Amino acid sequence: MIATALGVLLVLLAAGLPVAAALGVLAVVLDASFSAVPLTVAAGEIAWNTGKDFLLVAIPLFVLMGEILLRAGVAERMYGALSLWLAWLPGGLMHANIGACALFAATSGSSVATAATVGTVALPQARTFGYDERLFAGSLAAGGTLGILIPPSINIILYAVLTDSSIPRLYLAALLPGVLLALGFMVVVAVASGLGSRPTGTAEVPTRRERLAALVHLLPPLFIFFLVVGSIYLGWATPTEAASLGVIGALLLAAAAGRLSGSMLGRALKSTVKTSTMILVIVIAAAILNFVLSAIGLTRQLTDTITGLGLSPWAMFVAMVFFYLVLGCFMETLSMMITTVPVVVPVMTALGFDPVWLGVVIIVLVEAALITPPVGLNLFVVQSLRPDGRIEEVIRGVLPFLSAMLVLIGLLALVPDLALWLPRQVMG
């Protein structure tokens, strides 16, 4: 039964069927082959109840918030300010790239949006100041992935919905690893540029007065972060409610910057519906499939089979990391999460792993998937922002940053409290 299911799914996906349709077909096939009573009769109820789930309302709201911020011009001024503060480090402006990505990630739930927003502002600087363009592009593609680790994060919401865990707890757990990964990226930048002979840095050294004056441009992203993530941590708002506050805050910022207009809002709304429809169709198809999987007992059979293998939990953990690294080369990340998490996480928690900790590890693996070729969307986003050059250069430049992600996963395995300490302190 497991082999049938996996085989059918792999063939359907490799043949290029839309992920949602492939999941739906698998549900129908499994239902017809293994169930005594027709299960997909319930599909309508499942679709309705999933489709109107208040938790999932956070997804379009966060997408909308990002679409508005993207067009509000927040990123240009923020990047300028950060470059005044960070460009003296070995690796120069690339530290501003990482810093701006980390800060923008604190207002954005999407890695692609983070890479696109910061990349648009930062990339022109690479040639002006004669940076190694490969590493420069790599720092943006990798830095952008912080978008889904540093809260808010759309992927974490999905993980929480799929595994029935707490979004605030996951957001707290991801915060410290997010900061660590940003620092790790900076170390990579410093080491890689220390070894190279290319010039780095900017034209002039800023005065202290300039630096202090620039700090005001960090306020808009911090405002959104405290509005959204702060209201969740303080218990004022649920994640969905916080997302709605974020939309209002983003609208205010766009209006203050003089960027708010009917056509701008219209484009943001259209884009939002496109993205969230695409996500939710897959979520609904997966919900139907998961209903069939548990009804025919496949989920439990899989858990039993794998735990019956007698592998040590850590061997399973290594296998899981490997599985996601390979899968991430070929699959779009949201659909990868939606299809695998409902199956992988129950197995791993049965082996004794903490689902919140596991969530952080999986999000880091999803970040790796965003920058591993051939299907690493962030690579293509950054490449599309470059005036010329080949994608292979971005791929070369991003590789050193992948090592920081693997180190972080190692650290999380050695010291689970990197993720679990903060939620324990705050939420008990």
Partner 1 sequence: MERDGRSDRRHHRQALSRAPLPRPATGSGGVAAIEAFLDRWLDVGRRLARPLARAGGLLVLAAAFLVAVEVALRGLFAVSLGGADELSGYALAIATSWGLPFVLLERGHVRVDSFYTRLPTRLVAALDVLALAVLTAFLALLGQRAGLVLADTLAFGSRATTPLSTPLWIPQGLWFAGFVLHLLVALPLASRALLALLRGDSATVLRLAGSRTLAEEAAAERRAGP
Site for partner 1 in 170-189 (CB under 8 A): none
Q: How far is CA 3 from CA 6, 11, 288, 339, 388, in A?
A: 5, 12, 20, 16, 46
DSSP sequence for 71-101: HTTHHHHHHHHHHHHHTTSTTTHHHHHHHHH
Tell which one of 34, 226, 330, 421 touches partner 1 (CB under 8 A). 330
Vertex 283, ends 278 and 288: CA angle to 5°?
A: 130
Nearest alpha-carbon partner for 177 in 346, 350, 365: 365
Distance between CA 292 and CA 28 in Å, rounded?
Answer: 9
Q: Note whether 81 and 344 are within 8 A (CB).
A: no
What would the x/- binding string for partner 1 be over residues 262 to 301, using CB under 8 A? Answer: -xxxxxxxxxxxx-xxx-xxx-xx----------------
Beta strands, E only, 244-355: none
What are the tokens at 408? 């972080």
Distance between CA 245 and CA 210 in Å, rounded?
Answer: 32
Tell which one of 6, 38, 48, 309 touches partner 1 (CB under 8 A). 48
Tell which one of 3, 36, 37, 52 touches partner 1 (CB under 8 A). 52
Size of the site for partner 1 (CB under 8 A): 87
What are the tokens at 428? 């008990």
Tell which one of 1, 4, 18, 127 touches partner 1 (CB under 8 A). 18
What would the x/- binding string for partner 1 be over residues 111 to 140, using CB under 8 A? Answer: -xx--xx--xx-------------------
- Which of these ranges, 96-104, 159-167, 190-198, 332-340, lies near partner 1 under the rule CB under 8 A? 332-340
251 or 348: whose CB is closer to partner 1? 251
Nearest-approach distance from CB 385 to partner 1, in angstroms: 6
Task: Tell whether residue 30 is a contact of partner 1 (CB under 8 A).
Answer: no
Nearest-approach distance from CB 46 to partner 1, in angstroms: 9
135 or 370: whose CB is closer to partner 1? 370
Three-state DSSP at 112 gives helix
281 or 302: whose CB is closer to partner 1? 281
Side chain identity at residue 186, one-letter code: M
Tell which one of 44, 124, 130, 313 touches partner 1 (CB under 8 A). 44
Distance between CA 71 and CA 52 in Å, rounded?
Answer: 28
375 or 413: whose CB is closer to partner 1? 375
Site for partner 1 in 213-252 (CB under 8 A): 231, 236-237, 240-241, 243-245, 247-248
